[in-house]
Each structure stands twice: as structure tokens, then as C-alpha cells.
Structure 1
Amino acid sequence: MSKKYVTKSALLLSLLATASLATQVEAEENNPVSAPTTQESLATAEAQSTVEAAQTEENVEATASTLTETTETPAEEPQVLANIEQPAASQEVTEAETQEVAPVEGANVDVRILSTTDLHTNLVNYDYYQDKPSQTIGLAKTAVLIDQAKAENSNVVLVDNGDLIQGTPLGTYKAIVDPVEAGEEHPMYTALNALGFDASTLGNHEFNYGLDYLNTVLSSTNLPVVNANVLDAETKQPVFKTYEMVTKTFTDTEGRQVSLKIGITGIVPPQILNWDKANLEGKVVVEDAVKAVQAIVPVIREAGADLVIVLSHSGIGDDQYEEGEENVGYQIAGIDGVDAVVTGHSHAEFPSGDGTGFYEKYDGVDGINGKINGTPVTMAGKYGDHLGIIDLGLTYTDGKWQVTKSHGEIRKIDTKSDEANAEIITLAKESHDGTITYVRQQVGTTTAPITSYFALVKDDPSIQIVNNAQLWYVQKELAGTPEGELPLLSAAAPFKAGTRGDATAYTDIPEGPIAIKNVADLYLYDNVTAVLKITGADLREWLEMSAGQFNQIDPNSTEPQNLINTDYRTYNFDVIDGVTYTFDVTQPNKYDKDGKTVNPDASRVRDLKYNGVEVTDDQEFMVATNNYRASGTFPGVRNASINRILNLENRQVIIDYIVTEKVINPSADNNWGFANTIAGLDIRFQTADKAKDLVSGDDVEYIAASESAEGFGDYRFIYIEPATETPAETDNPEMLTPQERQEIHELVATAYAETQAKTKTMTLAQNKTTGLPKTGSKNNRILSLLGFVVIGLTGLFSKKTKQD
């Protein structure tokens, strides 16, 4: 059989297959089937995927046998930029999509830009920490909104804004337990491709597992991943593809086909050099995000882009710009040549749609129409809980497309329904099941519940257990070294304390067996343990920064006052164990939320003591923490004379600690609190409404369910004067309680008085006959014995007092 004949036969078969597929799609559109529920999908996914795999294998074998003689695979043009290799730059598109169709003067087309951000491996609607389905998260639920938005306007560009491969135990599972290998696509990128995403960018958390792992992940996907501000440290050339040009064929308002070239670029905060210093130092440098976008936009335009979209893995920030800032979405929206901006990173939401949003206090921010500096902008929350939608109206004038109208909005997923995208559920099954098996492994037992509902108002078990584990690990690491002779402290923060207005974002581990999923709930991030050497002066500044978690309280006001500063990130509220201290929150804060000095003479930290003695400025300490804190610019931390990254992830430290101890008691040691300057004041705070069932003691009082924040409750914090009795007085059976000491005092006093009276009578009688008491007489022996008893009891009492 000739090659020409085989080629024609193959072409005919392809056309027949295409016609058959078109008929099938038309039939499905005419007979829509509602999406199955999550439970139904998870139940049938394994069987369905097995059948499909068998069918696919059979079809592939048949096709291969037909075309072996005739097909030649053309060499793909590699997309290589410095260290990171990626396969084909663009997704495969049909001939109709790639064929350019010239527009006519005055043509109008409506384009819709759909976006996700900060998915953090929330692939399906499942909470791995609680080990149960959740209808508030997951790309599988966002996909329902994507389908709905496409049905309203099929002229769609679909993009993701980064922080994709880290964030849940699924991310840990695919990076550490069953890591992605060369040629294996990460399940998150598989899902984006299945949904038809056009491009993605890199978030800061893409760098958490190092450049080698990131290189493996990116080289195994054909989805374009762009970044314009990460450069090779030596060559100063871009490490990643700086932009992607996507050609899309749309339908204009007259029903005509038109082709548009859409240029897509992205940036990441320069702070990745601090946050992942161990992974990136000496390997990459990061340009200022605003300058990088300003430089790349003209290049994209020169390449023929009709539209330019910036994927800004950066928060919106504010209207004041400083080079090297973390959050610059506001400034990027004002750059000439940028038509739309997708932001993220902050896990916040924009626009509000009703003019009540946080960012609308800045000039040029339109929270109703979703614009900043006249450019449409969205920030679609986190974990797939929202979809960003930017609608652009374009008119072809004077030989180019002009944006004549625009609007931005975000849509929230349906949290009342378990509807989810069946395709995503199916393709996620293997990694999903593997993750569940992983997180259910038991590591030990806890003798008390571990919750974080009150972590911002008093010492808390969810932080205590982390500090206990870090102290246990670092003490072993420093043993036998000069640093091992110094006092060892530990710093940990509440990662789940109603983070960013989420009433479900709390740790809640019941008493009993504790599994890996619980440890992951305690420690969300894939940080690595670090140890620092600091002075007492540094320690005080570290705590002054942590004090930013609290608003300033007016001691003369009788009105309710909110204690918690909600603009301050809870992961920056470090609790440092090994010392005791209080916060005087009637004083102004020394630092703002970014660590910048705002009140240089202010001081909130009071009674900072080590072993009951005031800490001096020149006193030296070793502090266990994580690489995020050690690599940052936190006040106090930045002056560390020793800054060492250790060899174990913080989460693994906790697991090893629990496995070693077998049974843990996470009860807080109450080493910090508030100064008595807030005594008698009406101090309020919010935490999850469900926490009302956990209120115990006299320091917290439940008021009512919050009217301003869904799922939260209003609570009152009541200052209670700390007890003078320490836990050691009752916890150590070898020590005496105050009541026991008083009883001994009374016994000794009574015995001594009685003996003294008898001795005096006997001595007088003896003096009458001999003039002097006899040495070694019975009376003196009694006195001597009583003396030894008194000395012994006094010594015991003194020992107890010293220990107290």
C-alpha cells in the first residue's frame, strides 16, 4: 500500500471522527444532563476512569498500527529560557482558531476574561484537614461558574494567577510523598488544561519546593506559564517565558468571525527572595514588579498584541508606591498599554460590587464597576471560592482594536450545593485518594482538644504544641555546641485564626487520636525549621512587632472597643515561648503591619522575663522558628547574629515529636497576656460563632452572632488578674502547697511553744538544785531534736519558696 493512499485514508478517518464528535456534542447540547453531585462523582469516578483508560488504550493501539508507516513527528520548537524548560508555548488549537480573520472597520466584539487565583491545590471540594467534603472550596466548584460564564459569552480568555501547586496536603503529597516525576503532569495543571485555560503565572508559593521541583512540574505541562520579573542571578536573563501570545477567534456583534492576539504576562513579589531564601539565594534575582511590567508591555504590543492582560500575583496594595513593594496591583493598573489586570496573593476580594470594599478608600478605585485607574481589575479570593470576570467591549478603529467599555466583577461559588465539575472530580481521583490515605495516618494521641478559636486573645494550645515540638527538635540539634548552652526559646504563630474573614479557618482537633491531617491543620505551610541567635533587645523588638495584632485601646472609654487589628496577618503574630511577657495595648504600636516604624518611642511590651528575671538588652538567646521568619525583615529578627536553616520541615518536626512522645498534652502554659491597663473596659473581638460552646472560665464572654460577618460571633474579653500561684505548686507532688505550708507553720509553732513551756519549768527546778542545766540532759536532747525538725521544715519551706 502506497504512502499516499495511507495518508488519504488517515485523513478520511480523521474527518469521519471529527464529524462523529460534532454529532455527539450537538446531541449533548440538545439533551443536557445536570452535573452529578460531588458524592456521586467520587463514588463512580474510579470505575469510569478504568473503563475510559481501557477504551483509550485500545483506540491508541488501533490508530498507531494504521499510521506507523506514514506519520512523521516534526521536531517541536523548544521554549527554553535560562534554567526552566517548558514544552510547546501554546495549547493546541484548531485550524479555525489559528487562522487569522481580518476585522472590518467599526466592528465590535465583546471579550470575557475569566480568572482564578490562589487555588493552593484545592482541586476538589474537599477539606483534607477536617477529612470531609467542603462546599466552600475547590476548582471543581469554580469550574461550574466557568461553564456558566462561557454560556453567557463564548468569547473567553481563561487564566490562572498562581499559587497553584502548594497549600493543602494534596500539594505536600505530590511534592514529597508521591512527587511529580519528569513527564508526569501535576494534577493542578492537568485540571487547568482540561478546563481550557489559556495561560497561568507563578505565585510565591510555586517556589516553596525549590527550583528543581518547579522545573520538573513546568516541563511536564503544555500550559503556558509566564513570568516577567524573575531573572537568572548570573546572566540576568529571564528564567521563565516572559509573555504568551494567544490567538483567539471570536464572534463579533454582527456574527462575523474575528481574530485577536492576546498578550499575557505575569509577575511575582520580589519578597520571594526572602521567603524562600534557602531555595533561591544565588540562583535568581527578582525585579521590581511595576518596572518589569512597564518594560514588557511595549514588547508585547510590538509583537502585535491587540489586548494585554497582566497576571499580577500581587495584592492591590495602596496608592503609595515604593520600589520593591510586595503589593502593587494598584500601580500596575495605571500602566499605559495594560487592558486588564488579574490580582491575587492577598486572598482578598475585589470588586465589592456595591461600593463597600476595603480598597475603595483610595483615589481612582471604582468598587462598583471593578476598575482601578480606569482599568478593569479583579481579585477572586482564594481556594477557588470565587471566579473573576472582566468584560471588555472592543471596537476596531483606524486599524486596531480599542477598548471602549469595561467592567469587572467576581462571582462566588454555590456553597449551599454539592454540585461540582465531574471531569475534575474524575481526573483528581488518584491524587485525591492518595492524599486521603496519607493524611489519615495516625501519629499519636492528644489528651486535650487543640483549637485556635481564642488564639489572638490568650495563650493557645494550637500554638503551644508547635512551640513544644520546635523546642524539642532544636534542643537536640544544638546539643554539644556553644549555642546549646544559651537559653532556648521558640516562636510560632496562629496560621488559622479566622484568616482574612473566613469563619471556617480555625484549627479544631478533638481529644484522642491525632493524625497527619491534624498536624497539617496545625501547620499549613511547607516551611523549614530555622534557628536564630538574638539579643534581649532584639527579642523585645520582635515582640513589639507581634503587638501589631492589637488595636490601641482607650483606657478612658466606656464604649465597646475592638481588640483585634484585622489588617494584621495572624501568621505574623508570633508567640515566643520560654519567656513571659504582657502587652499594654493602651499604648500605640511601634511598627505597622509591614514592620515599618511608625511610633519610634512607643513600647507595648511589659514584664519581659526569663526564669522570672527581667531580660536585659545584651542577654543572648537562641530562638527556634521557620525559614519564612528567618529570611524576612521582621524587627528584631533582621539583627540575628546566627541565622541557620535546619534540615527538617516544621510540620515533620511536629509529626516526629508526637510520634516520639506518643501521648501529648497541648495545654497552653499562659506565658503571655495583657497588662492590667485594660481592666474593667468593654473589650470586644470576633471569632467563629461555634466557639461559644467552648467558652470556659471568666476571661471570655459570648455576646451574640455577628451581624457584620457571616459565621462569626461577637465576644467580650474580660481582664482577669493573674493568679500568684504558679502551676508548679500543684503539678509537682514533691512541693508543698500554701495550705500545707501554713499547717506545718502552725504545728511547729504549737510544738515549739509547748516544749518551751515544759523546758522552762524543768530548767527552773534543776537550777534550784544544781544551779545550771546538765549538758546532754533529756531536756536538751528534746530541744535539739525539735531544732532539727524546725531546721528541716524550714529548709523544705525555703526550697519551695525559691522554686516558686
Structure 2
Amino acid sequence: MSKSTLQKTVFLLSAAVLTAAAANAVQAEEISQAKPADPVTAASGTADSSPAQANAADTAENTESSSAISPENTADTSANLPAEARAASQSEDTKPVEGQQVDVRILATTDLHTNLVNYDYYQDKPVETLGLAKTAILIEKAKQENPNVLLVDNGDTIQGTPLGTYKAIVDPVEKGEQHPMYAALQALGFEAGTLGNHEFNYGLDYLNRVIETAGMPLVNANVVDPATGKFIYQPYKIIEKTFTDTQGRLTTVKIGVTGIVPPQILNWDKANLEGKVLVRDSVEAIQDIIPEMRKAGADITLVLSHSGIGDDKYEKGEENEGYQIASLPGVDAVVTGHSHAEFPSGNGSGFYEKYAGVDGINGRINGTPVTMAGKYGDHLGVIDLSLTYKDGNWQVTDSKGAIRKVDTKSHEADQRVIDIAKEAHEGTVSYVRQQVGTTTAPITSYFALVKDDPSVQIVNNAQLWYAQQELAGTPEGQLPILSAAAPFKAGTRGDATAYTDIPAGPIAIKNVADLYLYDNVTAILKVNGAQLKEWLEMSAGQFNTIDPTKTAPQDLINTNYRTYNFDVIDGVTYEFDITQPNKYDREGKTVNANASRVRNLKYQGRDIDPNQEFIVVTNNYRANGNFPGVREASLNRLLNLENRQAIINYILAVQNINPSADGNWHFADTIQGLDIRFLTADKAKDLIGSDSDIVYLAASAQEGFGEYKFVYVAPKTEPVPIEQPSSPTIAVEAANLQHSRVDFPVLTAVDPSTNKQASHKQAGAESLPATGEKHSALAILGVLTVGFASLLGLKKEEKN
């Protein structure tokens, strides 16, 4: 392209974007004046509309999304069957008769998280351990064994990888466009699904667009309109299937499908949902809907429970209630998920089998078949039901739940899924390969649970950098500003590949996504010194209690504690005395009221006053959660930017990162001389530094892991938090201009169809209602100035 042509292109691009930006700015300003305290409304552009009002037009256009319970919009006429079977299903010949038997198979995916194809976008390479394209191979084999199949998806479908981000923010799904995840599910023959908690991450407007074109009913029975109490989404679907019985005769079975989502979405996505929805307790919602489904003609009932199995103790409103749902009268089968775990084990060795009534060999909980098929498409859930028609009803006479793992040694993947994914996949790959800076050393998270770690440090540095600018000149900016971040990838759920591993050299968007997996939004909390300590006491649950008198090996890491809850708070220094018991359990409930693991908590070298106030920058998930200390915060509000984009802006400003941790936390000397063990990836043995605190022992029996010994080494000096680096003026100015989430790397993505640079649609306030971020024409112009300078070669690029 000639220089003149490029300049013309830039001019046209700037004119188009500035025109759109100006319109957005006017709209954002009007909304801001109308309801300045409601970030959801400001982002969506609908000042007073409730979810019911927002869905009214959608329902008029798409009766499949109607929440009214009637045979007209809840019964499936088996339109997906061949014409001959359809005709048969409508004839007298397919009516069930006394004593007739039929074997039905329910196949279920859960927590796909936009893993459409077998590709790791963070490592930018094909993999054989995940992806719907791999799961589809299992589906076809299971259908060959028994063609009497119902295919369902259990939610958390549209978020989770850069592909999800790409289709929500960079090239967002528009009205009338089908999301590629649902295009693939529909092509594979899926007939129903439910909503997971992550379906709400991008706001209700985006979710409604996805639901309209899903190609299947997405049912939910516990999200209701706060004003009317009516269902916002279709509460259930009755799917009439024509199956072949054990004697080769066609017969019909009506399967009622419903679903639930954890009530905690009201906290996790407060900015999107506050005042717009209410979420009922999952057990109560299912108790109420099952009789309605039976009354409407359901022969058997299936619950898509986007909830973990949990435990055998019921507390109303809790997050994981799969155990209780499976125990309800009238429920014939349950698909669970959300926890990214696996059930059943098939051999009696599973985690949930310690609870009464749990059969991990046959996959039943209190007699009801249940599956939980892992995550990312790495397993397929298979529920087999033997039905007998007796006394005028289909009855379940036998059942079994099982899960099947994808073949990780094979390169086989379903070509239909690959073809459907092509455009979104290639666009995502181009997007994540865009460089934003460089790192002078590798950034890994292999040791993030045993010592202060560079992968967490960089996130905290970026959050501090952003918050200091955002709060400058405000009362909050006069207080000490701290930052909290956790290692998202630290061998999560026994996966030896689940670690951040960024080589030295260029840092691209894919690497930032690897550092920060979730589409969270920055938030600030005002806490005092006492609350800060309780926050860290909760984080200390990551570690087992070590017996200081024991000479035998002891395990350091509490594997039941989620690593994304192990917050490292930068800006202060502290120790963990892990010979003391935990004060809180993994849910934040007090278990040892007088316990204290946090020692020597200091700010600028001085013991923290319990009444001293601090601002802590974190994310919306933590800010709206139930962490001790956090839940007592006197100020809790969102800032203007996603955490991941704050990291991108920080790297753009700094350009060359030095990935070294400041050592602001360590273990107390009470474990000195003890034999402390932990697992991390076996490959991490090549990354052990010279501090002598980590010793590699041997490969672990657990696939991909190695066994290591942690050796207490006294800190050489009192740890001092790293001083924030200064930033190039132009990048700082661009960041100060409202910190637009679409920085110039996004504006110059490569169009995979032409291999030319293409200008994506501006991902402004309307395309991501989660943040309530306002954009002004001046802000867009500032960011475009940086982007155009890059395009025209006015800004020097570092050589790779």
C-alpha cells in the first residue's frame, strides 16, 4: 500500500469512527445526566427499562423465547426428525402401550466456555485436550450405540476464551446473527440448553441477542422479573421425541427440560443485573416447576443444573445445589456443571462419593442419574434411562450416569465444527497475536502458590498504575492505594497444563489474556487495616495447616481451595504462619474464630493501624463476593475499564516489562526445617531459580505434575513494594482520556479473509454493558492518535 493510500485510509477510518464516537458521546452524556449512579443503564442506553420490558419486543418477534407456559410454546413437534418419522410421531401407531420399553440416552456438555475448536489461544497452538470439535467425536460414537438421543448443553457457553471476548467486544454478535458456539451446537443436533453464570458477563442486551438466534430453547426457571415475579426466560421446554423401543417399534416420549443458575450472579455481575433481575433459590425453583412440567405433558423430567453438586447439607440460596436437586421428587435426571469437576468417577474414588446416597460407580445421587462433564469440552456426559410404560405413564425402571473423556492422543476433530468456527477462530487468532510490548524474562505461574510471583505482580502493577491515574485528584486518591490479584492459572483442578507460560520477548494480547483469564471489570474498595487483615486471612486458606512437630513430609497446598481466591495484596508486606489453623473455610465462613495466620502486616515498614483506611483496586467478582474484609468495605464501586484492558494499557505505556516480583509476602519461619511438599508442572523443574527455596524431587504419579520440596529461606531484606515505573507521555495521555477499551492494537487487527488490516467496529459503551464506561469524542480521538501514529510509522516500534 502506498503512503498516500494509507493516509487516505486513515483519514476515512478516523472520520467514520469519530462520527460514531460523537453520537455515542452525546448518548452517554444524556444517560449519565439521567442516572449517573447506574453503570448498567449508562452502558446499555436504556434508562428505565426492566428485563421484562427489554424482552417484550424480543418475545413478540421470537415466540421460542416466551416465558408463558402453554402447550403451544413448550411442546416440540419433532421438526428435526425426517419426514417419515414426523408423520409416524403424529399417528396413532407411535402412542405408547402398556408394558412397552424404550432405552433413552441423554448426552450433555457443560462449561464449554467458547472452546469451540481444539485450540489453545493463550499458547497459540492446537491442542487435543479440549474443544467442542473433539467432544463431537464422542457424541457421534454415543449416538451410534443408541440413536434414541437427546442432546443438551448446560451453560457457560459464550465466555471463557479470547474467542468469547472477540465475539462480544471486538467483532460483537449483532441482532439476527448467530453466535458461533450455538451455530455449532445446532449443527450437531443439540435441542436444548440453559444459561450459566458467565452468560451474563456481557450484559442483558448482548445475552438477548444471543438467545434470539441460538437455534434451540435456552431454559431457565429461577431468573425472574423483580417487579412482577414472572419468568424472564423460557422456564422449560417439552421436547416430544420419536424413539425406537426395544422391539423395534416407534414410540413417543415427551421430555421436559428446565434449568437453573446460581443466585450468586447477582453479586458476580451486579453491574449488569442490579435492579433488572431477581434469582430464586435453585431448589425451590425446581420444586415449583416440576409439577408445571408434568401438568403440561412431560413424561420424564431433566434438570440442567448450572450448579455444582455441592454437599449433602442444604442452605437456601447457596451456590451449589446439585445434590439437593437430584434428591427432589419428580426429577428423573440431572446434568450438573459450574464447578468444572467430574462425576461420576466410575470406580468409586470420586470426591463426592463421601456423601450419603452418592453412587460414583453408577453415577446416581439418591437414585437419580447425574453427570458433571468437566470443562471446556474435555468430557461428555452420558445418562442412560430405561423406561417402561406402566399404568398410563412412562416410568424410569433403571438408570446410569457416566462421563467420557475426549481422546487426547488423537488428532481427530469434527469437521462440521471446524468449518463453522473458521471465521471467528481466524479472527480471534489474528486479534490475540497483536503485540503490545515486550518482557525481558519469561513470565510463568508455576510457583505462584508458594512464593511471590511475577505473573501476579504484573497484574497488580497494572491495576495500581491505572487506579492511581483514575483516582488522581479525588478523595479516594488521597488514601494509600493497594492492589489485589490472584493466580488464575496455577494447576487449576489438577490440570498440569493450566499455568501461565509466557516466553521472554514480545508480549501479545494472547499473553495478556493468559495472565488475566476473565472478563472482569476493575473495582475499588475502601477498607481499614482490620478488614485488610481479614481479607488476607481468607486468602491464607490456600494452605494446609502444617504440624511443626512432624518430621514426615506434609502437603503445603490445600487443593480444595480455588487459586483464583488466593489474593496477593501489593502495597503492603506480610507473612503467613501456616502452622496456625485457617480462620475461614473456602466459603468465607468462620471455622476458627481466634485463629490468626497473618503476621507482620505492614505499610511502608510500619505496623498497620486497624483503623487506617486504604483503597484496594480489584475486580467486580471479588468486590461483589463474600470475602471477609471485602464484604465489610465502606466503599465499593466500579471503575471505567476491564482489568485485562488495564493491563494492555499499562504494557503499552511501559513497553518493556521487567517481570520480577517484589517479595512482599512470604511464609513465617515457623516452618523452618520441616519437610514441606507441593505439586506443580513437572516441566517447571527447569525454571527453579537460585534462591534455594524450591527443590525438585521427582515426577508425580499425577499426569504432567512433578513433586517439589519447599525450603524455608529467610528473606534477605525487608521486602519493599516495587515502585511504579514512569510511562511515556503519549501513552499516559491516551490512557487518561477515559481509558478507551479499544486501543490501537484492536483497531488494526488483521482480516483473515484478506490478510489486510481491517477496522473493527468500535467496542464502545453499547457493546459491553458491564462497565458503564463513558466515551467522549476527545477520548476516541486520543486513542486513535496513538493508533494512527503506529500505522503511519510516526511511533518507533521495538524490533522483535
TM range (shorter): 0.7 to 0.9
Alpha-carbon distance between aligned partners in 2 of 1:725 and 1:435, rounded to the nearest angstrom = 44
Verify the 8 A CA contact 2:662 2:722 in the aligned structure 1: no
* Alignment correspondent of 2:700: 706
Verify the 8 A CA contact 1:87 1:220 in the aligned structure 2: no
* Alignment correspondent of 2:309: 316
* Alignment correspondent of 2:277: 284
TM-score, normalized by length of structure 2?
0.80
Counterparts of 1:124-273 in structure 2 under 5 Å? 124-273=117-266
Alpha-carbon distance between aligned partners in 1 of 2:284 and 2:392, rounded to the nearest angstrom = 29
Q: Kindly indicate whether residue 446 of structure 2 is the aligned counterpart of residue 468 of structure 1.
A: no
Verify the 8 A CA contact 2:236 2:293 in the aligned structure 1: yes
Q: Which runs of 4+ in 1 moved over 6 A?
A: 86-89, 725-732
Bigger relative CO (Cα 8 Å, ≥ 6 apart): 2
DSSP-derived class of the 1:639 partner: coil
* Alignment correspondent of 1:655: 648
The number of residue pairs the alignment matches comes to: 655
DSSP-derived class of the 1:296 partner: helix
Verify the 8 A CA contact 1:89 1:223 in the aligned structure 2: no
Q: CA 1:537–1:726 in 2, change beyond 3 Å: closer, same or farther?
A: closer
TM-superposed CA distance for 1:219, in Å, is 1.0
Verify the 8 A CA contact 1:76 1:88 in the aligned structure 2: no
Alpha-carbon distance between aligned partners in 2 of 1:536 and 1:77, rounded to the nearest angstrom = 54
Alpha-carbon distance between aligned partners in 2 of 1:233 and 1:493, rounded to the nearest angstrom = 34
* Alignment correspondent of 1:81: 67
* Alignment correspondent of 1:599: 592
Q: Kindly indicate whether residue 333 of structure 2 is the aligned counterpart of residue 347 of structure 1.
A: no
Q: CA 1:274–1:77 in 2, change beyond 3 Å: closer, same or farther?
A: closer
TM-superposed CA distance for 1:99, in Å, is 2.1
* Alignment correspondent of 1:559: 552
Counterparts of 1:45-124 in structure 2 under 5 Å? 77=63, 79-81=65-67, 92-94=79-81, 95=83, 96-97=85-86, 98-99=89-90, 101-124=94-117
Verify the 8 A CA contact 2:108 2:382 in the aligned structure 1: yes
Q: Deviations over 1:605-634 (max 9, x none)?
A: 000000000001000100000000011111
TM-score, normalized by length of structure 1?
0.80
TM-superposed CA distance for 1:680, in Å, is 0.2
Q: CA 1:75–1:476 in 2, change beyond 3 Å: closer, same or farther?
A: closer
Q: Kindly indicate whether residue 505 of structure 2 is the aligned counterpart of residue 518 of structure 1.
A: no
TM-superposed CA distance for 1:93, in Å, is 2.5
Identity of aligned residues (%): 72
TM-superposed CA distance for 1:647, in Å, is 1.2
Amino acid at match of 1:577: D
Amino acid at match of 1:186: H
Structure showing greater Rg: 1
DSSP-derived class of the 2:369 partner: strand
Verify the 8 A CA contact 1:210 1:279 in the aligned structure 2: yes
Q: CA 1:503–1:728 in 2, change beyond 3 Å: closer, same or farther?
A: closer
TM-superposed CA distance for 1:220, in Å, is 1.8
Alpha-carbon distance between aligned partners in 2 of 1:290 and 1:730, rounded to the nearest angstrom = 50
DSSP-derived class of the 1:590 partner: coil
Counterparts of 1:549-628 in structure 2 under 5 Å? 549-628=542-621
CA root-mean-square deviation: 1.9
* Alignment correspondent of 1:26: none
TM-superposed CA distance for 1:104, in Å, is 1.8
Q: CA 1:472–1:729 in 2, change beyond 3 Å: closer, same or farther?
A: closer
TM-superposed CA distance for 1:222, in Å, is 2.4
Q: Kindly indicate whether residue 328 of structure 2 is the aligned counterpart of residue 335 of structure 1.
A: yes
TM-superposed CA distance for 1:80, in Å, is 2.7
Verify the 8 A CA contact 2:573 2:719 in the aligned structure 1: no
TM-superposed CA distance for 1:78, in Å, is 5.6
Alpha-carbon distance between aligned partners in 1 of 2:506 and 2:315, rounded to the nearest angstrom = 49
Structure 2 portions without partners, runs of 5+ = 1-59, 726-800
Alpha-carbon distance between aligned partners in 1 of 2:441 and 2:696, rounded to the nearest angstrom = 22
Q: CA 1:151–1:589 in 2, change beyond 3 Å: closer, same or farther?
A: same
* Alignment correspondent of 2:664: 671
Q: CA 1:181–1:89 in 2, change beyond 3 Å: closer, same or farther?
A: farther
* Alignment correspondent of 1:415: 408
Q: Kindly indicate whether residue 300 of structure 2 is the aligned counterpart of residue 307 of structure 1.
A: yes
TM-superposed CA distance for 1:726, in Å, is 6.2
Amino acid at match of 1:639: E
Alpha-carbon distance between aligned partners in 1 of 2:249 and 2:582, rounded to the nearest angstrom = 61
* Alignment correspondent of 2:530: 537
Amino acid at match of 1:701: V
Verify the 8 A CA contact 2:62 2:212 in the aligned structure 1: no
DSSP-derived class of the 1:638 partner: coil
Amino acid at match of 1:288: D
Alpha-carbon distance between aligned partners in 1 of 2:438 and 2:676, rounded to the nearest angstrom = 36
Q: Deviations over 1:281-300 (max 9, x none)?
A: 00000000000000000110
Alpha-carbon distance between aligned partners in 2 of 1:412 and 1:372, rounded to the nearest angstrom = 21
Q: CA 1:585–1:183 in 2, change beyond 3 Å: closer, same or farther?
A: same
DSSP-derived class of the 2:404 partner: strand
TM-superposed CA distance for 1:674, in Å, is 0.3
Alpha-carbon distance between aligned partners in 2 of 1:555 and 1:254, rounded to the nearest angstrom = 67
* Alignment correspondent of 1:7: none
Q: CA 1:78–1:616 in 2, change beyond 3 Å: closer, same or farther?
A: same
Q: CA 1:729–1:190 in 2, change beyond 3 Å: closer, same or farther?
A: closer
